Structure 1
Amino acid sequence: MFNFDFYNPTRIVFGNETISRLDELVPAAARILLLYGGQSARANGTLREVRDALGSREVQEFGGIEPNPSYETLIKAVDQVRTHRLDFLLAVGGGSVIDGTKFVAAAVGYEGDAWDILETRGASIRRALPFGTVLTLPATGSEMNNGGVVTRRATQDKLPFRSAYMFPQFSILDPTKTQTLPTRQLANGVVDAFVHVIEQYLTYPIDARVQDRFAEGLLQTLIEIGPLVLKESADYNTRANLMWTATLALNGLIGAGVPQDWSTHMIGHELTALYGIDHARTLAIVLPANLEIRREAKRAKLLQYAERVWQISQGDEEQRIDTAIQQTRMFFESLGLPTHLSAYKLGTDAIDALINQLDTHHLTALGEHKNVSLDVSRRVLEASL
């Protein structure tokens, strides 16, 4: 196991009817910008519930944050905070709203072009406004980590950023808020969380037994509850398990002291930026092909994954790896997420543009061994057709 420094200061308030606790979590004198996405949070009563809990505090709203939050939209929120001298941010939504709120928190006091925050991947952040979150869509884990992703529409750049200043002070996780979510969003959330775990687990062995078993348990939980949570009749406990699993998938715990990959995410980001495919759906396309192309480097962990997660013990090594990759693909497709580019009417002519974007963003040495070159990324994309 590698040396590591694990730090996560985010307070989690989990359970039914916990939004009322905003009154104790947000400073009494706070001047708040409430950030959200579309109108569903208003239509289902969540925004009203949040405002009621905040009582007599000054609250302004900023809506319209996109599923892939754009710099162009978020900079308007930055201007609103500066103009009205607001001093606390509260995100109500899923990962995109929370990611966007993180950017706003960092950009408000940033000197210079705020896009530098993305160009430097967050290294230039020196301070940030305090913020909290009310999670309504379990998927990204952004509610309990220090990272985010923002897109600049004008240049079709989708870049990640990370900073110790980007941890939420608190996050409220109420599983009942998933009851009005469309099936598509719930399915995306399951796959997003699944691939978050895979990127930290399916690399190479370093005898990190706790992290491995923890990761395998999260994967098995998602496999068990994935089909159940898509049913309208999904009960509270099923929803609660999805919400907590998605948070644990990317709060830093299973990634502590282990090698991490993230090539599936980086390639997937370019698919979203260029072609507008949902983030989780890009992961469903890229991951099976990525595992196939890089199966030799991942052999030991693929065999472990096959046995411990999918209970595959019959056949020779190649057969077990084949079956594990196929089971992964079938799991994604059973949730309604296609696993080939052709499902989005993309063919070989799209690959050059994607490789050019990876090159432009200096993503030429990805993966746990930093050996996923542009040539390897091209092979992955070709295998995704």
Structure 2
Amino acid sequence: MHRYSTVSTIFLRGRKMTSFQLFRRRLTQDWLYQLRTFRSIADWTIWLYMIIPTIVISIFIYRSWWIDGAPTWMEWMPASIFFLLGYFFSWTGAYRFYTDEADMVFLIKKDSLFIGLRKWGFFFSLIFQAVNTLVVVIALLPFLIQHFQLTWEHAIYYFVFLLAMKYFVMYLKFHLKKIQSKMKRIILTVLAFLLLSWCAQAISIHWTSGNFWIVLCIAVIVGFVGTLLYYPIVKKKSLFNIELAIEQAEKLKLVSAIHQMSFDIEKTKVYSRKKPWLFRNSKRIFKKRTARSGFLELFIKVFIRNSSYILTYLQICSATVAALIIIPPIWMKVIIFIGFLLMMWIWLGITWERVVLSHPFTKKYQGYDAYFSARNWAVGVLFICAILVVGLLAGSGYFLVNQISFPQV
């Protein structure tokens, strides 16, 4: 990972840097790092066959939304659903100070330079998140203006509310990050997410009804709370470790996305607890002890204990269910389902090999019949379970979509 040279960047051409010059240098280094990461996966073939065609097709589709209207599958959707989608978007991003681990040794002693760097990072975060929110609203304008026949005032107040909610959520996420207990942090995050989602749904009623003064008042209060309460943290040094963890997570977001999408990279999970929640006493699952049952028991315990495997399994299923419900043409549903079958089968096979062949002792017996028998049984059972889950959820969702009529505005 690229490191900032903290001491050497304090001086520029024989003179001391100002806080703005240091911030600009850190920001440039961060952009160059993201560019190098992107270029590491996007060679000329990716640009020619994927990126450029995707950009061109997206431009034509966006133009068609303005001219020909929204897709037919959106007829059943109410306008308030975009308030909920915008609320999900508001949970992305974080305040960044562009600090580095080495700053704790040297830069933290330079109060004016250190606090000045954090101030510039704070104000830049406000501007950057405002631009991101504006891009999202512009992308949704054809639906709001053309399809739902809303006014430009709706779009403006929609932007104001989303931006205010984003500032508040970034402030809230920082305090949730301070909670050391992982279980307590997860519970409070889920509760906060649900509570704020109910508030967003209530405000969407006033938004669709044209009561903009209520939306504006709430947005101003929420936005000021998210920014004014966070600004004093800029001058505090006691929370440097938490800020550094957030900074590293934001900086490595693109790398983490590539890491998650790659099937060739092992996604190891580090556990802080001494014992797992399931099979904590490591009791036997199968009474009959055979080579086949030994392979199966090893795979089942590791698969269930490692949350990254479970989450990936559920993500593949949930993404397929959403696509089968939303996309209307039957032939596209068939293609998506076939793609799901291939992806799930390949991923389960790769996961089996990662789990069972990760240790030299088990890798020694990969040529035995018991190994292939256990592999086929485990992969087959999980594969059938995935098909049943996708079929039941997609069927139930499709039935509800066709039976329940949503109000239009």
TM-score (norm 2): 0.28
Question: Greater share of strand residues, 1 or 2?
Answer: 1
Rg larger in 1 or in 2?
2
TM-score (norm 1): 0.29
Higher relative contact order (CA 8 A, sep 6+): 2
